[in-house]
């Protein structure tokens, strides 16, 4: 059976989770982050489930350190919507595959753990079969190095003045374009490869921002998604991970240096995905179990709008 690790300072929670999962998985437990990290340093766990609110070390801090010790492990955070700052911090640190809100639904939790194990196994197999480095570089890394230095960055739903200011600041480092609406964004995406899309999540026409970005991500998996918004909302932050696997969630006002670093890191991530798309957890997740990702009416409508933009470009 696949090995998983449960971390929680409440014995009753550990007992409850163990009983729920022990029939399908080999379960280990830890009462705090320090003990968990000791176990992770000694053994490999395919899935790590950690509570957020624990004394000594918060859950997202544990998972951040766990990522360093065991980068292939799929990490899940048990949390409540009140932990807003921790949720956003964990999004931006990139250590969480899914958030599960308390009280959890048993079937949902089991299915997420099973999906995590499938993703772990798939990525592990891909890494095992990948060409070995020659002289310290793989073919993919060489390809990345010779690509154009500038990446294409699309800003969506910001004022022309704001985008112009960003273009003036970053224009010598990135190829920046803008779209003031969802349909304009779809047209831009259909015309050329975009490395990073930086988008708001609240649109005047009522379009759901997460559904919009998820539509982009499914059609263009090499495009890295960044949210830059004035909305600091726990529900949006949780959805940005569970539905989108967003790269970063930045809340305005954001330091310009942080925006530049986020875009630069996003371009590198995009190039890595182009070199090996199957190494992307999001891509592997959808390949293994696309039916587990529910498609809302909003997203279905957005897909039709994207298809229309692609068809219009094809007729030119």
pLDDT at 138: 44
On whether both 17 and 62 belong to a single domain, the answer is yes
Both tokens assigned to 312:
């219009």
Provide the residue count of the chain.
316
pLDDT at 103: 86
pLDDT reading at 31 higher than 90: yes
User: Mind listing the pLDDT tens digit for each residue in 39-66?
Assistant: 999 999 999 999 988 999 989 899 999 9
**pLDDT band with cut points at 50, 70 and 90 for residue 142:** very low
On whether both 48 and 109 belong to a single domain, the answer is yes
Task: Annotate 196-260 with DSSP letters as a single string.
Answer: EEEE-SB-TT--BHHHHHHHHHHH-TTSEEEEEES---HHHHHHHHHTT--SEEEESS--HHHHH
> Residue holding tokens 């959890």?
104
Both tokens assigned to 221:
């998996």
On whether both 251 and 285 belong to a single domain, the answer is yes
Query: What is the model's pTM?
Result: 0.82
Give kind and range of the element (H or E) at residue 273. Answer: helix 256-275
Q: Which domain holds residue 114?
A: 3-129
CA angle 129-131-133, nearest 5°?
Answer: 135
Domain for residue 72, yes or no?
yes
On whether both 120 and 144 belong to a single domain, the answer is no
User: Mind listing the pLDDT tens digit for each residue in 258-287?
Assistant: 999 999 999 998 988 877 655 556 556 655
On whether both 104 and 174 belong to a single domain, the answer is no
Domain for residue 134, yes or no?
no
Sign of the alpha-carbon torsion through 61, 63, 64, 69: positive
On whether both 155 and 29 belong to a single domain, the answer is no
Sign of the alpha-carbon torsion through 176, 263, 247, 274: positive
Both tokens assigned to 254:
């954001």
DSSP at 78:
E
On whether both 125 and 145 belong to a single domain, the answer is no
User: Mind listing the pLDDT tens digit for each residue in 179-189?
Assistant: 988 999 999 99
Cα distance between residue 73 and residue 56, in whole Å = 23
On whether both 251 and 143 belong to a single domain, the answer is yes
pLDDT reading at 143 higher than 50: no
Cα distance between residue 32 and residue 34, in whole Å = 6
CATH number for the domain harbouring residue 230 = 3.40.50.2300
Domain for residue 159, yes or no?
yes
Average confidence (pLDDT) over 215-234: 91
Portion of the chain with pLDDT greater than 90, in percent:
46
pLDDT reading at 149 higher than 90: no
* Rounded alpha-carbon distances, angstroms, from residue 230 to 23, 38, 129, 164, 213: 45, 39, 44, 19, 17
pLDDT at 237: 87
Cα distance between residue 295 and residue 284, in whole Å = 18
Q: Among residues 89, 78, 32, which one has the least CA distance to residue 56?
A: 32
User: Mind listing the pLDDT tens digit for each residue in 101-139?
Assistant: 888 999 999 999 999 999 999 888 877 766 655 454 444
Domain for residue 71, yes or no?
yes
pLDDT reading at 197 higher than 60: yes
Domain finish residue from 129, 161, 188: 129
User: Mind listing the pLDDT tens digit for each residue in 74-89?
Assistant: 999 998 766 777 778 7
pLDDT reading at 293 higher than 80: no
Please give the torsion angle defined by the CA atoms of residues 111, 95, 270 and 232, in that order, rounded to the nearest 10 degrees. 100
On whether both 209 and 81 belong to a single domain, the answer is no
**pLDDT band with cut points at 50, 70 and 90 for residue 92:** confident
On whether both 154 and 285 belong to a single domain, the answer is yes
Domain for residue 20, yes or no?
yes
Domain for residue 124, yes or no?
yes
pLDDT at 12: 94
Q: Which residues contact 315 (CB under 8 A, 6 or more apart)?
A: none
Number of domains in the chain: 2
On whether both 284 and 159 belong to a single domain, the answer is yes
166 or 251, higher pLDDT: 251
**pLDDT band with cut points at 50, 70 and 90 for residue 210:** very high
DSSP at 192:
S
On whether both 178 and 125 belong to a single domain, the answer is no
pLDDT reading at 166 higher than 90: no
pLDDT at 137: 46
Domain for residue 268, yes or no?
yes
Cα distance between residue 156 and residue 25, in whole Å = 43
Domain for residue 85, yes or no?
yes
Task: Annotate 133-153 with DSSP letters as a single string.
Answer: PBTTB-HHHHHHHHS-SSEEE
315 or 123, higher pLDDT: 123
- Output the average pLDDT for the chain: 84
């Amino acid at each position: 059976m696949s090995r998983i690790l449960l971390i929680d300072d409440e014995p009753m929670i550990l007992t409850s989770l163990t009983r729920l999962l022990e029939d399908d998985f080999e379960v280990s437990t830890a009462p705090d982050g320090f003990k968990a990290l000791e176990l992770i340093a000694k053994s490999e766990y395919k899935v790590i489930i950690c509570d957020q609110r624990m004394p000594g070390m918060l859950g997202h801090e544990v998972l951040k350190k766990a990522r360093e010790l065991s980068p292939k492990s799929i990490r899940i955070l048990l949390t409540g919507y009140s932990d807003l700052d921790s949720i956003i911090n964990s999004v931006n640190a990139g250590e969480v595959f899914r958030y599960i809100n308390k009280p959890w639904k048993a079937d949902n939790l089991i299915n997420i753990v099973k999906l995590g194990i499938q993703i772990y196994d798939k990525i592990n197999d891909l890494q095992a079969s990948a060409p070995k480095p020659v002289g310290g570089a793989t073919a993919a890394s060489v390809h990345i190095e010779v690509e154009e230095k500038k990446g294409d960055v699309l800003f969506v739903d910001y004022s022309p003045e704001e985008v112009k200011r960003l273009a003036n600041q970053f224009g010598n480092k990135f190829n920046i374009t803008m779209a003031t609406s969802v349909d304009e964004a779809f047209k831009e995406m259909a015309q050329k490869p975009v490395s990073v899309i930086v988008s708001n999540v609240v649109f005047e026409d009522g379009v759901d921002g997460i559904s919009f970005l998820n539509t982009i991500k499914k059609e263009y998996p090499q495009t890295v998604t960044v949210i830059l918004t004035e909305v600091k909302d726990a529900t949006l932050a949780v959805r940005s991970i569970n539905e989108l696997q967003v790269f970063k969630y930045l809340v305005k006002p954001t330091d310009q240096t942080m925006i530049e670093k986020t875009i630069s890191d996003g371009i590198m991530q995009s190039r890595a995905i182009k070199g090996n798309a199957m190494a992307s957890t999001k891509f592997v997740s959808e390949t293994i179990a696309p039916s587990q990702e529910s498609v809302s009416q909003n997203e279905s409508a957005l897909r039709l709008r994207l298809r229309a933009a692609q068809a219009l470009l094809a007729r030119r």
